[in-house]
Chains A and B, each alone.
Chain A
Amino acid sequence: MEIPYTSKPRPDTGLYNAKLGIWLFLASEVMLFGGLFSAYVLLRVGAAPGEWPHGWLNVWLGTLNTVILALSAITTLLAWVACKVGNFRKFKFFHACTIALALTFLCVKMYEYHDKWIHYEIKMTDGRFADGHFESAVYVDQATHQEVEEHRYRGNAFSKVSEGVTHHYELESVTLEGRIVTDEKDLMDLRAQKHIEHGSVTVERAHIKSMENYGPWHNTFLAIYFTLTGLHALHILGGTLVIGYLWGPGRKMWATDPERFTNRIEISGLFWHFVDLVWIFLFPVLYLM
């Protein structure tokens, strides 16, 4: 006996097997992201007054990414329709668009992550806070007392071997493109502050109490931001790989079994629409609220 309903729908359920399978999988995905969203709610409700950040993310980039994913949803649908009416050339064109849009989304996301990665908050010994994007750091060679300028943060000290000699460098000062505030709470709600003066701020090492970038360890908002968007980006990546496979080597099936191939496009499309939908929730929750 062969397994029935692999591409034709079962009459009483109206579904072929894989379509039911992907809906079940998406149900579990809803619960996965649901768990993380409920974590977001609990962390936000439980945060001490004034400690939940506002306006830390770039709304324009978020909007751009929302538009990109919305467009990719349309091209995915059109690719499936093209398969349905038997227009393979249009299918190839639309799914090429989907892949290009997905990669653009990931590039924008990478830029946003990098922006947080180079964003530092320095607790100063006088109780004030320097906050801004890393510009440069001055290190001093311990033997020659020569100063070198580095454009990435290399910790408090590092060593380098050049021409057989090991040089030890110690941090001298850090320069940020940002500002100095007296109350850490001023760094929390950026939306309420209309004009934020930015400039070059240099902090001597002697004045640095601690220094930390805006990674997931910085606070629970960034933790949930990186986790949610990271998991979402992994889904985008996975979807792109599947769609890329169907667009590339997997398209051979069109010649042998167009009905099954169309089903594959439909199923990968359902997954893609789900991933888009997650972003439709992520965008207001993280960027706007």
Chain B
Amino acid sequence: METTVHQFPPFRPADTHSGHGDHAHPEPGFWEKYIFSTDHKTIGIQYGITALLFMLFGFGLMLLMRWQIAHPGIPVPFIGPLLERVLGQVAAGGAISPELYNSFGAMHGTIMVFLGIVPLAFAAFGNYVVPLMIGAPDMTFPRLNMASFQAYFIGGLIMLVSFFIPGGAAQAGWTSYSPLATTIPTDGQLFWIIGMIFLITSSLLGAANFIATIIQLRAPGMTWMRLPWFVWTQFVTAFILLLAFPPLEAAAVMQLMDNVAHTSFFLPTGLAVGGQLANVSGGGSPLLWQHLFWFLGHPEVYVLILPAMGIVCEVIANNTRKPIWGYKSLVYAVLAVGFLSFIVWAHHMYLTGMGTKISTFFQATTMIISIPSVIILTCFFISLWGGSIRFNTPMLFALAFLPMFGIGGLTGLPLGFNVSDVHLHDTYYIIAHFHYVVAPGTIFALFAGVYYWYPKMTGRMMNEFWGRVHFWGSFVFMNVVFLPMFFQGMSGMLRRMSDGGANYSAAVNSKAGADAVGGLSDSILSLHTGILWGAMCLGIAQIPFIINVFWSIKHGEKVKNDNPWDATTLEWQTPTPPPHGNFTHEPQVHHGPYEYSVPGHAVDFIPQNEPAGPADKPLPATAH
């Protein structure tokens, strides 16, 4: 084993400073240790920090958009002049033009999904936790792992740079539907495509690495049914990424050809742009893009949610102090979700006129996939029953995940039926629906993960009081932001309108009176103001978290031992923080992952690697 110790936070005790006499130079090996590291823990932390920063940035874009929706055309207070200086004409007078709004909308989606949540949920937690949980010294391909992070970083940089090119960033939405994506005469889309190709490459390298690691590097005795459920979710997520992303890469290559080589993959015959017949050969199919995009796009939803569910599972088992209910059901349910996620994609396309037979098929599969999702949620709820629950910050976030994801999931059913989708499609209802899944759903689970594994990464706990402030603030204001959108959407307010529907409503209402069909009432439009305030308060509620993360590195309460939560899984049976190579000797696994409160045992948990003593019960049926 190598003796070098990789640590976070980035400092080393002076006594490990051997072999380098000249102290005048900056500490040697910094680049190898923290920038070009091949250690899965460092890479996980790199992913985590980068992804959190991107999420903050994406949140900022959203705040600007909410301002524009609530106060269309009015200069943004405080940072309006800055926007004009940096972005130029598109932010003339400090106000957000429709083009800029479109850019922000497209990039908010892209950044949150591809640069924020996937890297945090899958790459950051997966990298840090999975090898520790299965008792592995590292990922199977450490250098590939580093390349994966670098590709992600470059992809993110390209996306950021695109804001500052003439014409600004991509404007065709995060779904980049053609022919719009090809006919917008700026270069933003080109940057978007190239950035995406880097991000896809990063995901593919990561996914192959995760699957190989979980199959090949499980410690002796770590059988499939002894894997913590978090590892199962990461395993299924990796397969989804591995198989669903390449078709989007194919689509991106074709859109690149459309934009650069003037092919007509997605451009139909007779395409008119601005009243003129476009100078293209035609013969292409706009529906082809939508099929290829959603072939990734829908499995991607499960990429966002499955790792979050995995985190919730670990936190709930640990803080109810009892085995998770229905471990086997959870395993088979997550496999079923992973498989079914590949055959539901066209429920995003009911309104394209692809045919009622196809719609019926996808409606059926969409209803079927809700079954394993409900099994998972039910297992979590039943797990709470009769537990002596510890209400610490990670547990609060994990508990809040359950109803929030529940709302998100149940409001998805009317969207899955193609009859009711006709009314709700492309309205604020769907915005509210998927944000309930991803924002108070997935992001709450990610916060739970940060609070839960932070002591393992740093050796110190995060502050509990400010954690609770962060939780309650986020919980209240998430709902203030997203709940009204359901009502706006059901009233027919369309998404992607840069003024929140004000002009559209005024036009319709002036034509046919106040109760015109399609117009929006003033009370529906006035909800914008409440949402804006809710969003600002939600931003303020994140300040305690940001400070907590940095302050606790040095000033947090020191962990009492390597296993401060009295957890059973292997990541807590290592030194804190784990050294390069993770384990001092190869762990031997004897137990299932959730041996809490086993009757007849001295303490209320049995670590997976603790040898089975004579006082213990025989191994439960799950361990075979």
Nearest-Cβ distance from residue B339 to partner chain A, whole angstroms:
15
Q: In the complex, which residues of chain A have a beta carbon less than 8 angstroms from the beta carbon of B582?
A: 1
**Are A39 and B265 CB-contacts (below 8 A) given A24-B212, A28-B204, A220-B281?**
yes
Q: In the complex, which residues of chain A have a beta carbon less than 8 angstroms from the beta carbon of B251?
A: 35, 39
**A2 part of interface (Cβ distance < 8 Å):** yes
On whether the beta carbons of A20 and B254 are closer than 8 Å, the reply is: no
- Which of B136-144, B507-515, B553-561 is the interface stretch? B136-144
Q: How large is the interface on B (under 10, 10 to 19, 20 to 34, 35 or more residues)?
A: 35 or more
- Which of A43-51, A57-65, A166-174, A266-274 is the interface stretch? A43-51
On whether the beta carbons of A17 and B257 are closer than 8 Å, the reply is: no
- Closest chain B residue to A231 by CB distance? B253
- Closest chain A residue to B248 by CB distance? A35
- Closest chain A residue to B267 by CB distance? A220
Q: In the complex, which residues of chain B have a beta carbon less than 8 angstroms from the beta carbon of A86?
A: none
On whether the beta carbons of A220 and B243 are closer than 8 Å, the reply is: no
On whether the beta carbons of B142 and A32 are closer than 8 Å, the reply is: no
On whether the beta carbons of B285 and A31 are closer than 8 Å, the reply is: no
**A216 part of interface (Cβ distance < 8 Å):** yes
Q: In the complex, which residues of chain B have a beta carbon less than 8 angstroms from the beta carbon of A220?
A: 263-265, 281, 283-284
Residue of B137, B261, B295, B583 most packed against chain A (CB within 10 A): B261
Q: In the complex, which residues of chain B have a beta carbon less than 8 angstroms from the beta carbon of A34?
A: 246-247, 250
On whether the beta carbons of A13 and B263 are closer than 8 Å, the reply is: no
In the bound complex, how far is the Cα of B150 from the Cα of A19, in angstroms? 24
**A25 part of interface (Cβ distance < 8 Å):** yes
In the bound complex, how far is the Cα of B583 from the Cα of A4, in angstroms? 13
- Closest chain A residue to B583 by CB distance? A1
Q: In the complex, which residues of chain B have a beta carbon less than 8 angstroms from the beta carbon of A280?
A: none
**B329 part of interface (Cβ distance < 8 Å):** no
Q: In the complex, which residues of chain A have a beta carbon less than 8 angstroms from the beta carbon of B291?
A: 38, 42
On whether the beta carbons of B216 and A28 are closer than 8 Å, the reply is: no
**A185 part of interface (Cβ distance < 8 Å):** no
Q: How large is the interface on A (under 10, 10 to 19, 20 to 34, 35 or more residues)?
A: 35 or more
Decide if the interface of chain B is mainly helix, strand, loop or mixed. Answer: helix
Q: Identify A5's interface contact among B216, B242, B246, B249, CB under 8 A.
A: B216
**B292 part of interface (Cβ distance < 8 Å):** yes
**A244 part of interface (Cβ distance < 8 Å):** no
On whether the beta carbons of B250 and A39 are closer than 8 Å, the reply is: yes
Q: In the complex, which residues of chain A have a beta carbon less than 8 angstroms from the beta carbon of B208?
A: 21, 24-25, 28
On whether the beta carbons of B217 and A4 are closer than 8 Å, the reply is: yes
On whether the beta carbons of B216 and A10 are closer than 8 Å, the reply is: yes
Q: In the complex, which residues of chain B have a beta carbon less than 8 angstroms from the beta carbon of A46?
A: 283, 285
Q: In the complex, which residues of chain B have a beta carbon less than 8 angstroms from the beta carbon of A13?
A: 215-216
**A217 part of interface (Cβ distance < 8 Å):** yes
On whether the beta carbons of B242 and A216 are closer than 8 Å, the reply is: no
Q: Identify A17's interface contact among B140, B243, B263, B285, CB under 8 A.
A: B140
**B262 part of interface (Cβ distance < 8 Å):** yes
Q: In the complex, which residues of chain A have a beta carbon less than 8 angstroms from the beta carbon of B246?
A: 28-29, 31-32, 34-35
- Closest chain A residue to B263 by CB distance? A223
On whether the beta carbons of B281 and A215 are closer than 8 Å, the reply is: no
- Closest chain B residue to A16 by CB distance? B216
**B125 part of interface (Cβ distance < 8 Å):** no
In the bound complex, how far is the Cα of B381 from the Cα of A180, in angstroms? 76
On whether the beta carbons of B265 and A224 are closer than 8 Å, the reply is: yes
On whether the beta carbons of B243 and A39 are closer than 8 Å, the reply is: no
Q: In the complex, which residues of chain A have a beta carbon less than 8 angstroms from the beta carbon of B621?
A: none
**Are A1 and B288 CB-contacts (below 8 A) given A15-B216, A17-B212, A27-B242?**
no
Which are the 10 A-B pairs with shortest beta-carbon distances? Answer: A35-B250, A35-B247, A1-B137, A32-B246, A223-B263, A31-B246, A24-B208, A217-B262, A220-B283, A17-B140
Can you name 30 A-B residue pairings with CB atoms under 8 Å?
A1-B137, A1-B581, A2-B137, A3-B217, A10-B216, A13-B215, A20-B211, A24-B211, A24-B212, A27-B243, A28-B246, A31-B247, A35-B248, A35-B251, A36-B253, A36-B254, A39-B292, A43-B285, A43-B288, A48-B283, A216-B262, A217-B263, A220-B263, A220-B265, A223-B254, A223-B257, A223-B263, A223-B281, A226-B263, A227-B254
**Given A20-B215, A21-B208, A46-B283, 5 other A-B contacts at CB below 8 A?**
A1-B585, A21-B144, A217-B261, A223-B263, A224-B265
